[in-house]
Amino acid sequence: MADRSSEGKLAIAIASMVVQVLRQYTGRGPTKSRTHFNDDLIVVVLQGTFTPAERALVADGKGDLVLTNRRVFQGIMRADLIAGIEDLTGRTVIAFLGDNSIEPDVKIKSFLLAPQTTLATRAAA
């Protein structure tokens, strides 16, 4: 993650990958996505994520059911999301966390990367 141009391209690629995985599993992607990263942490913020069926459940007071279902799907998508991050960054994901909010309709996917080793670090070891 060197210069700003390559950082911007990587951020877009990560957001696109996460959107594609969500679309593959849920049949619908979010309306907005943005990637933030700093050193070993990548956070993808997704907005407008509910399907029409989920919106109907929320309107009927069953938001807890939607959140439970989302947690189950996150577990199912976990391997694909981690593989996508590792492919795009060339680094190992050591932790994956995520959560959903009903109001506002926001989802967060966070990836903690293994520390990057440099030649100087390897030489000192």
For residue range 75-116, what is the model confidence (pLDDT) as tens digits? 999 999 999 999 999 999 999 999 999 999 999 999 999 998
Tokens representing 83 are 């593989």
The answer on pLDDT for 119 being more than 60 is no
Q: Write down the pLDDT at residue 26.
A: 86
76-102 in b/e form (b: 16+ CB < 10 A) is ebeebbbebbeebbebebeebebebee
For residue range 47-70, what is the model confidence (pLDDT) as tens digits? 999 999 999 999 999 999 999 999
Tell me what percent of the residues of the chain surpass a pLDDT of 70.
90
Tell me what percent of the residues of the chain surpass a pLDDT of 90.
78
Q: Write down the pLDDT at residue 1.
A: 44
Tokens representing 122 are 């390897």
Asked if residues 82 and 56 have their Cβ atoms less than 8 Å apart, the reply is no
